[in-house]
Structure 1
Amino acid sequence: LLHRRTIKRWFSSGEGASLVVMETRHLEAGDPEPPELPRGSEVLTLYSMLYCPYAQRTRLVLQHKQLPHRIINVNLVRKPDWFLARAPLPSAKVPIIELPGDEKLRLADSLITCEFLEEAFAAATSNGTDGDLMPSMGTPDAPRLRAAQRQTISRNDAMISAFYRWALKKDEPAEERELLWDRLLWQLRNLQADLRDGGFFGGARPQLADFMVWPWIERLPPLMQHYCLPPRLPDSLGHLSTWSEAMSETEPVRATRLPDWAHLAFVESHWRREPRYDFLENR
């Protein structure tokens, strides 16, 4: 079967699953194209990969904005020709958002897609809460607050680089691994300094910067476990730990989060250079 819903049983909460009108297994070279949406449909299409933190950014914003969407998962090792033809950039990376309609506007890159969703769709979510992820430009403090969020996202880019240097170099000597871990902790402390009054990077509730940071924090615990590190972040990152606990209770995170064992199993398959995209289907 091309299309599946069973993956939702692995999410921490099923409440956000109703926004996903269809989700595919990871389609690969030789698989047919997904069907066209009915004319007049307002459903967005997200080209994704289940374990990709960048694609999770876009899934988080889609959930926060309460936007119905379908997810076309793609095997990034054996990409279908039709996916390569649809990708707006030569790199053909996920995430890609496709808008409904005859023109089939497609946008790539996690930050671009998330900023587009923020600017293009109404501020109020369907459950009546404020859906804005950036301060409205109609307020005096908006330029400063928006710039602060972008600065946090930039700091997070440095943390991501340190994260991958530490996470993927599993065969390094113990001394080198310890040095890489210390560098990652330094970047995490640098990021923690941006947490605002109210506990989130945006203030009293999660905003764009919070969702842009979250996917890598979600992936820290299983990798810490793999490398036999203590299960919690050190005391020097107490504010970041509190933020992580608060983020874990938000509906977008509950709707998109995967179990620690699933993240680790995928990373281990990636280390073997045989990434298993759909092993959850067989559990």
Structure 2
Amino acid sequence: MSKSNRTDFSNPSTFILLGVPGLEAAHVWISIPFCAIYAVALLGNFAILFIVKTERSLHGPMYYFLCMLTVTDLVLCTSTLPKTLSIFWFNSREISFSGCLTQMFFIHSLTVMESGYCVAMALDRYVAICDPLRHSTILTNSMMAKISLAVMLRGVILILPYPLLASQWPYCRTNIIPSTHCKLMSVVSLACSNISISSYYGLFVAFAVMFLDLFLITVSYTQILRVIFRLPTKDARLKTFGTCSSHLLAILAFNIPALFTFLTQYFGHNMPLHVHILMANVYLLVPPMLNPIIYGVRTKQIRRSLIRLFIPRKN
């Protein structure tokens, strides 16, 4: 491309987020379910945090890890949806260069952290069922703090190269991002330098996190199921497995959209652009909405506390 026909965006001051290209006329209608999902996510996750804080019977490893997952969900959906709604409602499409890179960092690091907390909760269930007498001595407060710190550091260390590399790329094509938020592949597509290292690194992180975490969860539940099937009665087996059901549903709620989004992003080149964008939003919004519902319905202590919270007993 000749210099006369080339626009230099080597350090663009802003990017332009288009929302959902091809469905601009439906932006207001699309915003209704998005807003409803966000409201449910905020209400449900804050309720979980309040209940775990106020109910002393819930002061245990599983519920502490649940709180960490809840905080991650709240920050994850809040890092994207307010800007998405401003595009849909007010046509506010500009986002600063640094703001775009910051949003990209939060999206990817928080999804890695969420996956890590699912592994931590699988570890808690493994110890609680396979070695119950040592549960309180193994998962002490200091051990949980170390696990939480490791999960957060993994998310930060693995994802920090993304914005650092992106800040050094020259942008000589355009500053328009056909999406509702800044994610790695959206920004990568605008760079005109050799970004193969970034693409390979992105694939490495996706495969390493997704498959390593799923492998660890599978190993944990294989051991859990071996213990459950050795229990003498059907009622004992069902009761013990019931303590894992919330966690298993939360894993499915996170990993099914994640896997589908990953596959469509890298291999679904023939799918319409708006399908990619809507699936990416589902991946970021649905798990934060479903997690408090899953734990509120499936966990007896939380369910009772929720009922007392929203339907106080009459004197």
TM-score normalised by L of structure 2:
0.28
Higher percent of residues as helix: 2
Which of the two has higher C-alpha Rg?
2
